[in-house]
């Protein structure tokens, strides 16, 4: 006997034993089953079985379309709008200083297509729609610094399914360049002091391959597992 799950609409084939059990139910009693497709439980009674026998379907009328999937709001990934690109993209968020251009040129030389923004709100709004592989944030980008900055808080709170794919670099006078413990404490992958900005290209050539070597196999396994 074929019935349809009332939640996902998929067809379910009931065994003869289950069909007989439902037909033997007393009036008002129902047998609870679990859909093998969506795992949502639902109940069937003898009247449903009789409807299937007469019409060949448990459906009565047109099933409305499912509500839109809003998981991208929580995870920060808008898959429908992603564009597959050969060139990785990076976001540079710096005050308007000569140091910003040094960082941009170094990141471009490393093979990234760089976007520069001056408004933290615009940067946050863009993140779900652009698949950035790297983000470079200066602690002076917002008046409140890292502690009061909206963008750094956004990065800290980002779902790990998205965050693990972004190489997040913090730059500022309070950091010790390549100090992994400080980067970990700040929820970043790399920290760079202002005085080492002229060497940012060399720092990236060291840090990014080490990151890929350490976490690349793990990220591949997680991707295969759908996480």
pLDDT digits (tens, 9 = 90+) for 103-136: 999 999 988 999 999 999 999 999 988 989 999 9
In a domain, 101, yes or no: yes
**Structural domain includes residue 75:** no
In a domain, 209, yes or no: yes
pLDDT of residue 83: 45
Final residue of a domain: which of 36, 55, 74?
A: 55
Residues 89 and 142 in one domain: yes
Helix (H, G, I), strand (E, B) or coil at 182: helix
The encoded tokens of residue 172 equal 């500022």
Indicate if 13 and 123 belong to the same structural domain.
Answer: no
At 112, give phi and psi (nearest 5°): -90, 150
Query: What percent of the chain stands above pLDDT 90?
Result: 42
220: pLDDT confidence band, cut at 50, 70 and 90?
low
Residue 203 to residue 42: CA distance in whole angstroms = 57
Q: Which of 191, 200, 84 is nearest to 131 (CA)?
A: 84
22 against 144, higher pLDDT? 144
Specify the CATH number for the domain of residue 179. Answer: 3.40.50.2300
* CA dist., res. 168 & res. 121, Å (int): 18
Answer yes or no: are the C-beta atoms of 134 and 112 closer than 8 Å: yes
Contact 107, 134 (CB under 8 A): yes
DSSP 69: P
Within-domain flag for 102: yes
**Per-residue pLDDT reduced to its tens digit, 28-80:** 677 777 777 777 777 777 776 665 555 555 554 455 666 666 665 655 555 44
Does residue 123 sit in the same domain as residue 184?
Answer: yes
* One domain, residues 200 and 103: yes
Is the pLDDT at 179 greater than 90, yes or no? yes
Q: Answer whether residue 151 shows pLDDT above 90.
A: yes
pLDDT top residue among 204 and 227: 204
Domain residue limits at 105: 84-224
Q: Do 98 and 167 share a structural domain?
A: yes
Nearest to 187, CA basis, from 209, 223, 157, 213: 157
**pLDDT for position 6:** 75
Mean pLDDT of the region 196-200 = 94
115 lies in the same domain as 152: yes
Residue 172 pLDDT > 60 = yes
Same domain, 116 and 182: yes
Whether residue 50 is found in the same domain as residue 90: no
Distance (Å, rounded) from C-alpha 180 to C-alpha 30?
Answer: 59
CA 58, CA 78: separation in Å to the nearest integer? 35
Domain count, the chain: 2
Pick from 171, 214, 219: nearest CA to 195: 171
Residues 201 and 104 in one domain: yes
């Amino acid at each position: 006997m074929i019935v349809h799950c009332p939640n996902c609409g998929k067809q379910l084939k009931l065994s003869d034993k289950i069909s007989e059990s439902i037909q033997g139910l007393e009036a008002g009693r129902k047998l609870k089953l679990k859909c093998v497709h969506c795992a949502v439980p639902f109940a069937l009674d003898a009247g449903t079985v009789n409807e299937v026998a007469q019409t060949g379907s448990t459906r009565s009328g047109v099933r409305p379309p499912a509500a839109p999937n809003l998981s991208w709001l929580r995870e920060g990934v808008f898959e429908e709008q992603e564009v597959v690109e050969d060139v990785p993209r990076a976001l540079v968020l710096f005050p308007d200083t000569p140091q910003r251009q040094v960082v941009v040129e170094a990141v471009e030389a490393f093979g990234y297509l760089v976007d520069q923004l001056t408004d933290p709100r615009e940067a946050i709004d863009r993140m779900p729609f652009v698949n950035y592989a790297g983000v470079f944030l200066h602690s002076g980008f917002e008046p409140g610094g890292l502690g009061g900055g909206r963008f750094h808080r956004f990065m800290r709170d980002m779902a790990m399914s998205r965050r693990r794919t972004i190489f997040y670099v913090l730059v500022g006078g309070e950091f010790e360049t390549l100090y992994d413990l400080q980067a970990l404490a700040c929820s970043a992958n790399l920290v760079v002091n202002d005085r080492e900005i002229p060497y940012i290209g060399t720092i990236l050539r060291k840090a990014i391959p080490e990151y890929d070597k350490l976490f690349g196999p793990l990220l591949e396994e997680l991707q295969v597992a759908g996480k």
